[in-house]
Structures are given as structure tokens and as C-alpha cells.
Amino acid sequence: MTDWRHSYWERVLRRPYSRRQFLTSSAVAALSLGLWSCAPQAQQTQTGPGTQTTEEKPRYGGVLTAWTAADPANYDVHQNSTYQVLHPLAPCFNLLVKFDPMDPNKIVGDLAERWEISPDGKTYTFYLKRGVKFHHGKPFKAEDVKANFERIANPPRGVVSPRKGVFQVIDGIETPDDYTVKFILKRPNPSLLTNIAQGWNVIYPKDLLDSRPDMKNTVIGTGPFKFKEHIRGVSIELVKNTEYHVEGRPYLDGIKYFIIPDPNTALSAFISGQLLMYRPNLQADADEAKRQLGDKIVIQKVQGYLFDTVNMNAQRKPWDDERVRLAVSMAIDRRAAVTVLAQGEGSVGGFMPVGGQWALPKEELEKVPGYRPNKAQEIEEAKRLLAEAGYPNGFKTTLLTRKGAEFEPLSVFLKDQLAKIGIDATLDVQETGTAFDRLNRRDFDMAPWVHAIAVDDPDAVYAEFYLCNAERNYSNVCVPEVDQLFDRQSQTLDPNERRRLVWDMERRALLGNAKIVVDWRFERTIHWAKVRNYKRHPSLYNNFDFQDVWLAEA
């Protein structure tokens, strides 16, 4: 098997000069124009035949073969935050409401047929579908919805809930009857429905939640597909749920995810037809598939909700000093990151997705230290900050690095960036399970990571990553002013006033550097043209149940 490290940089660089030369600011300065994208988040580019024509009639049968990079560490969707868990398991579940598969800006019912919001905005009433059964035969009822959202918002001892912060606005959940659920809020919250629709909020049966400490070894939902088997290091196989509650669905007989860590092997498997769907990290790989296969395949590309980032453990010195964290932010050439890490297929941005309604405008972002255009001046200021903090000659540190072609290049890039201000970094490469465990235990100095968000909403993003007690604030950085602004914007119903508060919150949060956002990535899915009725969403975490997807004849 070809080592991905060699081929990755060969494909990225394809230049007559060395990788180190390429990483320097001078080598990329001319390539850095136009990287501050203002395109709407849901904007999508598609090359190849359309997903479906009006004359086509959906066809039953066939197995969709897709890709994932690693085995899921466990099967408890609520406790996880990696696509390696969600993607192969999402087809086994339903949500209460979800984003429309064909329109990522629209929310539609899933297990809820309809819903109502009280005039004061504090009560959401959901009316549930009848005749729905879990895969183990139990009927789906309101008590299941209540049990799941109580578990997410207030997890029992020993259960991790990365997204619990966004549901702290819930005061209680009532079930007036078997098919009605009421969410009673502490205050009006304009983001509730959006956050419920996240792909992570799958519904498990209450009887199983009550009978075991977690769902790490169980995959029982109401979804269009049932879990068949997981052969570690090889594949995860799902089969059609013949008793599915949506008439005539699913079309597919099954889905098989092949576990392929090496991107070169995965690309070859796609080109050969072993994989019908693949999510390449590099645009060069999508282009190569297109070059070889032409109109036999479709490329769907979006300005995604995926970003490269750095966590710095404020429980350890020197990262408890805001000056040190800010110096690192100022050392990183984000325009170079877009060129090197994303092959130019990305954008410079802050904590909210680039181009969305909540993102800090380019002219405002460029006033923030770390984002200012004069990088040479920022480097000098960063060195002064380190000297003021007691590190005039820099220091040594370690980069906890998740193993894989999606993650290691970020650490390699950051090692070179840190050297510019005298910080000597060593990579500590760990398998996914170990890396996540250490990240969750805050057992690291620096932890470069590739994060993604499910929705472009300040409640969701800040409650998950940037508040003092946010579950995924891995740096343990606490800026009380950010929390105060968060509370104000979260209950502000006027969108313009809320946006103003979000921008104020962003300006302060970017100085605290609970995370350093290095760049935002374009996301792409490539699939054979015979895969019909699939639309890639901006989020890596939505629209993966494949309920309506079908395969045309070859």
C-alpha cells in the first residue's frame, strides 16, 4: 500500500519547489487573493449529469457502496462527534425533524408529522407519526422522544453528550398522549427547531435506554435500514427495513460502507466501481476521477461547515496565558493554509461558517489580531507577546495528532508555522480512538483537529465549542464576556439585533482563542451518475439516511 504522506503532498504541491518552500508566506502570497469567500453556505456546484430527471421513475433494488476512513469507536451516536460513527449508522435511525434532503435550508418532519409553536415562543408541540416501529418490534411513541432529548440535554453519569449545551434552554418535556410531545422552554429560543434537526439527534427506543448504561454496542432505530454486521477494518453492512413507516421506501436493498483509511486506495476503489460514493479530501482526487470517468460520475461541491483548528490546553502552561494563545493565532498564515491544506478550495473565516448570515464580515475580521493582512508585522507582534509572557526564545510543545490523511497534514503545516515564532513542536500521532480519548480527557498540549458543525447557528456553534462549560471546548478557555453575550443573542428574536450581538461575541471570542480556526474547507462528494436523488448538504452531519436514494441501471 502506498504511504499516503508521500502521495498527499505530491498531489497538493505539484510544484517544482519543495514543500517547505511552499509553506512559507512568501511562496504563497501571490496565491492568497480571493480566499475570503462570501458565497452563501448552501450554494452548490455540481458537475456531471443531474441526480434525477422528471421522466425517470425510481428503481428498486441494488446496494449502495460508500466509503468511511475508519471503524467507529462505538455505536452510541449521542456520545460521538465524528462522521466515522454517524455516516454508517445514520440510515438506521430517524430524527424528530430533519433538513429537507433536497433543500438544506428547509426543515421538514421526520418522526414528527407537524408541529406548532405557541405565541410566546416558549412551547413547541410536536404531533408524531403513528404506526412506526423500532427494529426490535416496539412501537414508537412520545415517551421515546422524551427519553432521548432528556438523555442528550442531561446525560446520565458516564454518558458524554457533546451537544447538550444547546438544549439547556429546555425547562421540561411533556407527553400529553402517546403521539404528542411538548418542549417547554425557559425562554423563547429562535434556534430550537434548527438544533433539533441536527443529524446527531437520532431516536433510540426508551426501553433500551432504560435497560443499559449506553448504546455503544447497540444499533436499534426506526430508520430505513437495519444494521446487519460490522467486520472491523473491512466493512459495515446495512439491509433494507421492509417494515419502514414511509410507504414505498427505501428503494435500496442495502448499504455497504467499506473501511478504507488510505485515500489513494479509496480513490482507486471508486474509479474501479467498487465504491459508488466517495468523499475525497482533495479536489485533485475528484478531478482525477472526473478525468478518468467523465460523465459516468457526478461531483457535488459545497462551501462546507468543516474547518481546520487548533486546541491549546489552558489547564497547562504556557497555554493558560491568553498572550501565548494569541501569539500562535498571529503566527498562522491562514491564506497559506487555504492554499496548502485545501488546495485553494477553502476560505479564511472566524468561528461561524464563511458566507453565512452570522459570519463576521471580511472588513471586520481583518481588524482582529491573527487575521490582519500584514503577516510580517503580526509575526513580530507575536514574538513580542511571547517575550512578555516569559518566553523570549520560544519553547517546546507537542501536537496531539489524529492519525490519517485527513488530519496529519494539518499538524505538519502547523509545526512549520509555529517555528516562525520559536516554538518547537513535535507530532504525537495516535489512532482515532486514542486521540479522541485524550482530547476528551484534556490530555494534550496542543491538539490540531478537523472539526465540523451540523448547523450554521450561533447557539449550536458556541454552546458546543466556545462557552466556558461547552462540552467540546477542549482548551478549557473561559471568557465570561462571551458567555454573557451568548445569553443575550440566544433570546433576541429580532434577526438584525441578534446578528449585531453575535458579531460582538465573535470579536471577543476570537481574542480568547478557545480554538484557533485555521481555515474553512469546501466539501465534496463524488458518486457514480447512476446514484439518483442524493444532494450533498453543507454539513458533514446531515442528510445521510438515504431513504429516497435509488440506483439507476448501469
Query: How do residues 75-128 score in pLDDT, each as one tens digit?
Result: 999 999 999 999 999 999 999 999 999 999 999 999 999 999 999 999 999 999
Q: Which three cell numbers stand for residue 362?
A: 471580511
Give yes or no for a contact between 41 and 303, defined as CB atoms under 8 angstroms apart.
Answer: yes
Q: Both 489 and 544 in a single domain?
A: no
Give yes or no for a contact between 369 and 511, defined as CB atoms under 8 angstroms apart.
Answer: yes
Angle between helices 283-293 and 263-272 (to 10 degrees): 20
Q: Both 459 and 541 in a single domain?
A: no
Q: What is the mean pLDDT of residues 528-534?
A: 98
The span from the CA of 548 to the CA of 91, in Å, is 11
The model's confidence at residue 1, banded by pLDDT at 50, 70 and 90, is: very low
pLDDT of residue 51: 55
The model's confidence at residue 47, banded by pLDDT at 50, 70 and 90, is: low
Strands 297-312 and 516-528, sheet pairing: antiparallel
Under DSSP, the state recorded for 29 is G
The span from the CA of 42 to the CA of 118, in Å, is 29
Query: Within a domain: residue 7?
Result: no
The span from the CA of 443 to the CA of 4, in Å, is 27
The CATH number of whichever domain residue 152 belongs to comes to 3.90.76.10
Number of domains into which the chain is organized: 2
In 3D space, the residue among 412, 460, 388 whose CA is nearest the CA of residue 99 turns out to be 460
Is the sign of the CA dihedral 317, 323, 328, 331 positive or negative? negative
Whether 338 has a pLDDT exceeding 50, the answer reads yes
pLDDT of residue 18: 34
* Helix (H) or strand (E) run with residue 284 in it: helix 283-293
Query: Within a domain: residue 120?
Result: yes
Q: Both 194 and 150 in a single domain?
A: yes
Query: Within a domain: residue 195?
Result: yes
The span from the CA of 394 to the CA of 421, in Å, is 7
- Residue carrying C-alpha cell 439516511: 545
Q: How far is CA 468 from CA 47, 161, 493, in A?
A: 43, 16, 24
Query: Within a domain: residue 293?
Result: no
Query: What are 224-252's pLDDT values in tens digits?
Result: 999 999 999 999 999 999 999 999 999 99
The model's confidence at residue 56, banded by pLDDT at 50, 70 and 90, is: confident
The span from the CA of 494 to the CA of 483, in Å, is 20
Q: What is the mean pLDDT of residues 447-470?
A: 95
**∠ CA(225), CA(227), CA(229), 5° rounding?**
140
Query: Within a domain: residue 138?
Result: yes
Give the mean pLDDT of the chain.
Answer: 91
Find all residues with CB under 8 Å of 475, minimum gap 6, and list them. 311, 312, 313, 314, 319, 325, 513, 514, 515
Query: What are 251-275's pLDDT values in tens digits?
Result: 999 999 999 999 999 999 999 999 9
Other CB atoms within a 10 A radius of the CB of residue 298 amount to: 23
Q: Both 518 and 541 in a single domain?
A: no
Q: Both 174 and 191 in a single domain?
A: yes
Is the sign of the CA dihedral 198, 204, 205, 208 positive or negative? negative
Q: For the whole model, what pTM was predicted?
A: 0.86
In 3D space, the residue among 37, 30, 26, 29 whose CA is nearest the CA of residue 350 turns out to be 37
Q: Both 339 and 484 in a single domain?
A: yes
Angle between helices 480-490 and 495-512 (to 10 degrees): 160
The CATH number of whichever domain residue 421 belongs to comes to 3.10.105.10
Query: Within a domain: residue 295?
Result: no
Whether 32 has a pLDDT exceeding 70, the answer reads no
Q: What is the mean pLDDT of residues 138-148?
A: 99
Q: Both 329 and 453 in a single domain?
A: yes
The span from the CA of 127 to the CA of 116, in Å, is 9
Query: What are 413-427's pLDDT values in tens digits?
Result: 999 999 999 999 999
Instruction: Write b or e for each residue in 86-103: b if 16 or more Cβ atoms lie within 10 A of its Cβ, otherwise e.
Output: bbbbbbbbbbbbbbebee
Query: Within a domain: residue 99?
Result: yes
Q: Both 462 and 324 in a single domain?
A: yes
Amino acid at 338: V
Amino acid at 160: V
- Residue carrying C-alpha cell 501565548: 324
Q: Both 371 and 495 in a single domain?
A: yes
Query: Within a domain: residue 47?
Result: no
Give yes or no for a contact between 66 and 510, defined as CB atoms under 8 angstroms apart.
Answer: no
Strands 225-231 and 235-240, sheet pairing: antiparallel
Q: How far is CA 215 from CA 73, 75, 110, 206, in A?
A: 12, 6, 22, 11
Whether 522 has a pLDDT exceeding 80, the answer reads yes
Q: Both 390 and 497 in a single domain?
A: yes
pLDDT of residue 45: 65
Q: What is the largest CA-CA distance in the chain?
A: 70
Whether 452 has a pLDDT exceeding 70, the answer reads yes
The model's confidence at residue 33, banded by pLDDT at 50, 70 and 90, is: very low
Q: Both 546 and 461 in a single domain?
A: no
The span from the CA of 312 to the CA of 445, in Å, is 6
Whether 539 has a pLDDT exceeding 80, the answer reads yes
Lowest-confidence region among 41-55, 196-210, 227-241: 41-55
Whether 50 has a pLDDT exceeding 60, the answer reads no
Domain encompassing residue 173: 63-222+530-551
The span from the CA of 71 to the CA of 260, in Å, is 9
Q: Both 135 and 208 in a single domain?
A: yes
**∠ CA(132), CA(135), CA(137), 5° rounding?**
70
Give yes or no for a contact between 324 and 380, defined as CB atoms under 8 angstroms apart.
Answer: no
Whether 12 has a pLDDT exceeding 60, the answer reads no
Q: What is the mean pLDDT of residues 366-385?
A: 97
